[in-house]
């Protein structure tokens, strides 16, 4: 399977990965959430080559995750801003960072802390059920076939055990 084919999979995960399933893309998005907007700033902070950066920014714009906005003309200059679709990736970024904080931090501890302005506290992100509000665990989630399912693939296999997901 190639990148180009990923997009057409029925699995939501595969479709998402066709947009953000690349290490540079995710690092670019991290910087977007930190407020970075300009080509040369991304280039410097990430250490990515200009060619790849140009390509990824183009992909993200095409996918509607970023939009290219002119902030001056003469000379023409623009910046890349997160769209609503892009802002919706916040839980993805936060959960990745949180896993790194917990499992990959050096002995000095985590590199950054997050403060929730609404309540004032330093916090950890927690993933909960939209219906009952309790923390989700792989053991008590069951995967059901939805309306957009082509067939068979990506459904639980074997005796099935306890954990399930897609």
Partner DNA sequence: CTACGTAAGTTCTGTTTCAGAACCTACGTG
Partner DNA sequence: CACGTAGGTTCTGAAACAGAACTTACGTAG
Q: Is 51 in the site for its own copies (CB under 8 A)?
A: no
- What distance in Å separates the CA atoms of residue 128 and residue 20, rounded to the nearest whole number? 23
The footprint of its own copies on residues 100-129 (CB under 8 A) is 100-119, 121-129
- What distance in Å separates the CA atoms of residue 8 and residue 127, rounded to the nearest whole number? 28
The DSSP call for residue 103 is H
The footprint of DNA on residues 37-56 (CB under 7 A) is 38-41, 47-52, 54-55
Q: Is 124 helix (H, G, I), strand (E, B) or coil?
A: coil
CB closer to its own copies out of 70 and 118 = 118
Q: Is 27 in the site for DNA (CB under 7 A)?
A: no
Token pair 């639980």: residue: 156
CA nearest neighbour of 20 among 98, 82, 104, 69: 82
CA nearest neighbour of 82 among 66, 98, 71: 66
In angstroms, give the least distance from the CB of 53 to its own copies: 12
Q: Is 145 in the site for its own copies (CB under 8 A)?
A: yes
In angstroms, give the least distance from the CB of 58 to its own copies: 18
Give the one entry of DNA, its own copies, none that residue 52 binds, where binding means its C-beta sits below a cut-off of 5 to 8 angstroms depending on kind.
Answer: DNA
Q: Which two tokens stand for residue 122?
A: 């330093």
- What distance in Å separates the CA atoms of residue 67 and residue 65, rounded to the nearest whole number? 7
Q: Is 30 in the site for its own copies (CB under 8 A)?
A: yes
Give the one entry of its own copies, DNA, none that residue 14 binds, where binding means its C-beta sits below a cut-off of 5 to 8 angstroms depending on kind.
Answer: its own copies
Beta bridge partners, 82, equal 66
Give the one entry of DNA, its own copies, none that residue 108 binds, where binding means its C-beta sits below a cut-off of 5 to 8 angstroms depending on kind.
Answer: its own copies
Q: Which residues bind DNA (CB under 7 A)?
A: 1-3, 22, 24, 38-41, 47-52, 54-55, 57-58, 68, 74-79
């Amino acid at each position: 399977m190639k990148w180009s084919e990923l997009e057409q999979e029925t699995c939501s995960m595969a479709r998402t990965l066709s947009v953000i399933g690349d290490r540079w893309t995710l690092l670019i998005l991290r910087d977007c959430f930190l407020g970075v907007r300009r080509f040369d700033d991304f280039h410097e902070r990430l250490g990515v080559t200009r060619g790849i950066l140009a390509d990824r920014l183009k992909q993200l714009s095409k996918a509607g995750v970023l939009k290219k906005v002119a902030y001056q003309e003469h000379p023409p200059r623009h910046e890349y801003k997160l769209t609503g679709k892009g802002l919706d990736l916040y839980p993805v970024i936060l959960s990745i960072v949180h896993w790194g904080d917990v499992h990959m931090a050096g002995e000095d501890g985590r590199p950054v802390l997050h403060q929730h302005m609404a309540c004032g506290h330093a916090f950890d992100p927690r993933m909960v059920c939209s219906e009952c509000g309790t923390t989700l665990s792989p053991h008590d989630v069951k995967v059901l076939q939805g309306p957009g399912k082509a067939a068979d693939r990506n459904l639980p296999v074997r005796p099935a055990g306890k954990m399930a997901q897609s």
